[in-house]
């Protein structure tokens, strides 16, 4: 591209092709995406069994990982591909499509944790279900997202969500107060039968205490 020179020329220098290319790249500030990861000869995986009350057969979710920088202090695992197997063929088409897209995202590299938030926020218009522990799952896609979250925590890409010491003491205190009043009104998970669904952890464990809706599972509290 031609440039108009408005000032008097007082000197010049020859620009080497390599230097010119480097300068243009820096000026354009172009972000280049890396090439997808190639499948290695050896791969490590984990399989998770998921049985839901809305399907006749269980789902077996397998997530395979690649080991990056093996043998160095920076060695770590990251997901490479995901498969879902089940005798239930009702959801076969969209499961294959979804897992292929997810596998492509895994192979592309970068931060893949955003998939969790996208998946767990999907709601089934026909309604979700409660699984063991009293946790509410809004859809099968959300269940898949929770499995991916568990796997990323297991391989160290995500830190497990844990209560701090203050929250643990507060939740335990609230539980002790409930038990002291009437232990017969608790469900199989140890929470009051009339508890509401907590909007933070999706567990049916929120009760009104001291004018605030407090969750006995995660410690979330809302007043007013």
According to the model, what pLDDT value does residue 134 have?
75
Q: 92-108 and 140-154 helices cross at what angle (nearest 10)?
A: 30
Residue 209 pLDDT > 80, yes or no?
A: no
DSSP 158: S
19, pLDDT greater than 60 = no
Helix (H, G, I), strand (E, B) or coil at 125: coil
pLDDT grade for 56, boundaries at 50, 70 and 90: confident
Q: What is the pLDDT of residue 184?
A: 61
Look at residue 32 in the predicted model and tell me its pLDDT.
Answer: 46
Q: What distance in Å separates the CA atoms of residue 185 and residue 178, rounded to the nearest whole number?
A: 9
CA 157 – CA 161 distance, rounded (Å): 13
So what's the pLDDT on residue 28? Answer: 52
The pLDDT score that the predictor gives to residue 70 is 83
Per-residue pLDDT, averaged over 137-159, amounts to 92
Residue % of the chain over a pLDDT of 90 = 27
For strand 44-50 and strand 59-68, is the pairing parallel, antiparallel, or unpaired?
Answer: antiparallel
- Strands 135-137 and 196-197, how do they pair? unpaired
- For residue 23, pLDDT over 70 is answered with no
Quick: pLDDT tens for 69-112.
888 888 888 999 999 998 888 888 999 999 999 999 999 888 89
Taking the domains of the chain in order of start, what are their residue ranges? 44-154, 165-223
The strand ranges marked E within 40-95 are 44-50, 59-68, 76-85
Reported as a pLDDT band with limits 50, 70 and 90, residue 38 is: confident
């Amino acid at each position: 591209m031609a440039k108009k020179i408005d000032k008097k020329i007082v000197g010049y220098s020859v620009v080497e092709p390599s230097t010119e290319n480097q300068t243009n790249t820096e000026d354009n500030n172009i972000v280049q995406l890396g090439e997808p990861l190639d499948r290695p000869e050896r791969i490590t995986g984990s399989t998770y069994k998921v049985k839901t009350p809305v399907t006749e057969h269980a789902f077996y979710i397998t997530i395979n990982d690649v080991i990056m920088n093996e043998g160095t202090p920076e060695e770590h695992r990251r997901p490479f591909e995901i498969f879902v197997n089940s005798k239930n063929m009702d959801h076969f088409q969209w499961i294959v499509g979804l897992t292929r897209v997810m596998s492509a995202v895994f192979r592309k590299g970068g931060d893949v944790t955003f998939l969790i938030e996208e998946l767990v926020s999907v709601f089934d218009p026909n309604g979700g279900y409660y699984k063991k522990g009293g946790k509410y799952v809004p859809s099968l896609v959300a269940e898949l997202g929770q499995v991916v979250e568990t796997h990323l925590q297991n391989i160290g890409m995500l830190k497990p969500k844990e209560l701090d010491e203050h929250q643990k003491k507060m939740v335990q205190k609230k539980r002790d107060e409930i038990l002291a009043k009437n232990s017969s009104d608790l469900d199989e998970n140890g929470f009051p039968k009339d508890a509401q669904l907590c909007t933070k952890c999706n567990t049916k464990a929120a009760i009104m205490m001291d004018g605030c809706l407090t969750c006995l599972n995660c410690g979330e509290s809302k007043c007013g």
